[in-house]
Amino acid sequence: MSSPKLAWPGRPEDGRRVLRYVDALSESVALEMERDRSVFLFGLDVDDHKAIQGSTRGLLEKFGPDRVFTTPLSEDAMTGVAIGAAMAGMRPIHVHIRMDFLMLCMNQLVNIAAKARYMYGGQVKVPLVVRTIIGKSWGQGAQHSQGLHSMFMHVPGLKVCAPSNAHDAKGALAAAIRDDNPVVFVEHRLLYATEAFVAEGAYLVPPGRSRVCRWGRDVTVVGISNMVVEALRAAELLKEVGVSAEVIDPIWLAPLDSETIVESVRRTRKLLIVDNGWNMCGAGAEIAARVAEACAGEGPVSIRRIGFAPTPCPPSPILENAFYPNPATIAAEAFALARPDAAPWAPDPSSAKLAYQMQFKGPF
């Protein structure tokens, strides 16, 4: 059984237009709002001049304050309000500038949104999108930096999406808006300025389909959210030592297309998962378990995970750097997997530094 491979729809006839992630988000919402009167967008600060770091830019002007509006600082109740509106046939997009604030929405999302369809015997549906951004850098600190996607992956009834590039951001957000279920849509602050080829019209990057971003022979590297970009940088570094890394982006974490990952691991026999969150009970744990289950009895598979240090995120620069996986640490882990008998290797610091300036414009 071969899983569907996602092709890049950025064909030359699309003009190969390059767009930033942040602009792809607002463009996608604008297209969906034009298409469907029941879509509206609300959340703290969506209508101010900073427009959620630019990601809601232009929407108020285009669609007016009835469909684009701010809220009180009442995330818990506002989530319930969104759920109620969704049950009544609207398609709310509820925006949070930091993923950390979703902890205030947890009760409504887990106890109502996720379960309403099921526990009410199919009488209602909750087509809700919760847009949220993982913060990073500049001393964001413990409460403005968390990647909590795995908490939502855990819960049946919730879908979770974490696109890593502008193309997928646009298509997946459209798919999330058209989905009849609650979707937690995870963005990353450092992705906002990154560019990719993005077609002008609407298109969908549907749930449950992973993307192979880069083909490789020696090791499969799965990146999540911003860690896809870091993994691609690591893959460049690995070329120096002749290690060929395959990089896979699940895009949607729930439902998760582990088939594409399993297929890759069947060839490489090595799997490194790079998460934008903690390893303990994280997305990487789920992916590792699925691969181990699928490949059981087929011969040895080596698996490693790398994610946030098992600590809160500190703001002091030296500690903050040590908290996150980076291209050098990812490359070193991947090398250890790919060449278990070789002496440990890490890229030299100057090329690791250069790796940070590497920009990737999908299709990879």
| Residues 222/250, Cβ–Cβ less than 8 Å | yes
Which of 316, 342, 358, 359 touches other proteins (CB under 8 A)? Answer: 316
Binding site partner of 318, from ligand TPP, other proteins, none, Cβ cut-off 5-8 A by kind: other proteins
For residues 96 and 117, which CB has a smaller minimum distance to ligand TPP in the complex? 96
Q: Does 104 bind ligand TPP (CB under 6 A)?
A: yes
How near is the Cβ of 60 to ligand TPP at its closest, in Å?
A: 18
Query: For residue 245, how many other CB atoms are within 10 A of its CB?
Result: 29
Residue 188 designated active-site: no
Which of 1, 7, 73, 318 touches ligand TPP (CB under 6 A)? Answer: 73
Taking CB under 8 A as the criterion, which residues in 72-91 touch other proteins?
A: 72-77
Taking CB under 8 A as the criterion, which residues in 123-162 touch other proteins?
A: 138-144
How near is the Cβ of 27 to other proteins at its closest, in Å?
A: 23
Q: Name which of 37, 57, 33, 34 is nearest 45 in CA terms.
A: 57
Pairing of strands 129-134, 183-188: parallel
Binding site partner of 107, from other proteins, ligand TPP, none, Cβ cut-off 5-8 A by kind: none
Which of 285, 314, 354, 363 touches other proteins (CB under 8 A)? Answer: 314
Per-position x/- string for 21-60, each x denoting binding to other proteins as judged by CB under 8 A, each - no binding: -----------------------xx--xxx----------
Q: Cα separation of 275 and 227, whole Å?
A: 6
Applying CB under 8 A, what is the total number of residues that bind other proteins? 36
Binding segment for other proteins among 111-119, 220-228, 288-296, 318-326 (CB under 8 A)? Answer: 318-326
Residue 25 tokens read as 């988000």
Q: Name which of 175, 102, 188, 179 is nearest 137 in CA terms.
A: 188
Residue 149 designated active-site: no
Q: Cα separation of 334 and 96, whole Å?
A: 34
Residue 298's SS3 state is coil
Binding site partner of 140, from ligand TPP, other proteins, none, Cβ cut-off 5-8 A by kind: other proteins
- Partners of residue 249 on adjacent β-strands: 211
Q: Cα separation of 52 and 302, whole Å?
A: 41
Q: Cα separation of 5 and 211, whole Å?
A: 7
Catalytic residue (choose from 27, 32, 96, 144) = 144
Applying CB under 6 A, what is the total number of residues that bind ligand TPP? 5
Residue 183's SS3 state is strand
What is the secondary structure of 229-273 as a DSSP string? Answer: HHHHHHHHHHHTTT--EEEEE-SEEETT-HHHHHHHHHHH-EEEE
Which of 119, 280, 322, 358 touches other proteins (CB under 8 A)? Answer: 322
Query: In the bound complex, which residue of the shown chain has the CB atom lying closest to ligand TPP?
Result: 101
Backbone torsion region of residue 52, taken as left when φ is above 0, otherwise alpha when ψ lies between -120 and 50, otherwise beta: left
Q: Cα separation of 133 and 96, whole Å?
A: 7
Which residues make up the interface to other proteins (CB under 8 A)?
44-45, 48-50, 70-77, 100-101, 103-104, 138-144, 309-312, 314-319, 322-323
Chain positions contacting ligand TPP, by CB under 6 A: 44, 73, 75, 101, 104
Catalytic positions are 75, 144
